[in-house]
Amino acid sequence: MDSRSPIRALQAEVVRLRDESWLLREELTLVKDYIHNLFQLQQLGRMLDSDTDVVGFLANVLSSSLYAVGARDGSLLLLDEDSEDLVFAVVQGEASERLQGYRLAQGEGIAGWVLEHGTPRVVPDVRLDPDFSPAVDQEIGFQTRTMTCVPLLDGERRLGVIEAINKTSDRVFTEGDLDFLMVLAAMVSQLLLQAEKVMEQESGDG
């Protein structure tokens, strides 16, 4: 037996604990950033006026939220209540320029299903999901592998969805990730409603 093996085992354990500690610190930082962004989102709703760059702010919030759940790409899609299309309003990641303004027909894909049913989804492998539509991937030259999608709602009224695409390191999204995005979706919905009220007031005053 190698007399040095206990020392090597101890060294390996030290390295493991050090790596684990680093990961925990990184996760704590992500959670703090996420909570800070949610707080900022809440504060923005109270100070919203016609000059507020809502889309720009939501882009920043979406970016940090995707990072918090370990996603490479994601989008905030809003419902066009006239056409019933879902419109990619805020897009982060590889396909951001190609997807901006892209439209999904009513009920199309997993995002359409989530909006129609008002129910969040975690999809470990989109290729095995009958609701997945490959049309967007084919159109923009992208590959969706895994995703989670949550609805933006005001009671029974449908506003849109938030989706996170392709977890890093080829992992799948968790229920914890879904919970994160559900909290975000609730606050984004309130901000959108507040922005709508501001626009209506400005229009009425004009």
pLDDT tens per residue, range 73-97: 999 999 999 999 999 999 999 888 8
Selected from 3.30.70.100, 3.30.450.40, 3.10.110.10, 3.40.50.970, the CATH number assigned to the domain covering 5-205 reads 3.30.450.40
> Higher model confidence: residue 5 or residue 101?
101
Which range has highest mean pLDDT (26-30, 45-49, 122-126)?
122-126
Confidence at 56, pLDDT banded by 50, 70, 90: confident
* Terminal-to-terminal C-alpha distance of the chain: 87
Helix ranges restricted to H, the chain: 5-47, 54-68, 96-99, 109-117, 135-140, 175-205
* pLDDT at residue 45 greater than cutoff 90: no
At residue 181 the predicted structure's pLDDT band, cuts being 50, 70 and 90, is very high
- The set of long-range contacts for 50-53, using a CB threshold of 8 Å and a minimum separation of 24, is 50/198, 50/199, 50/202, 52/195, 52/198
Tell me the residue type at 4: R
Domain positions in the chain are 5-205
Q: How confident is the model at residue 192 (pLDDT cuts 50, 70, 90)?
A: confident
pLDDT grade for 193, boundaries at 50, 70 and 90:
confident
So what's the pLDDT on residue 169? 76
64 pLDDT more than 60: yes
- Residue 151 — pLDDT band, cuts 50, 70, 90? very high
| Predicted local distance difference test score (pLDDT) of residue 38 | 66
Half-sphere exposure (CA, 13 Å, Cβ side) for 45? 14
- Averaged pLDDT, 124-139: 93
pLDDT of residue 198: 75
Average pLDDT of the chain is: 83
Q: What is the pLDDT of residues 12-36, one digit of tens each?
A: 767 766 666 665 666 666 666 667 6
The confidence score (pLDDT) of residue 53 equals 77
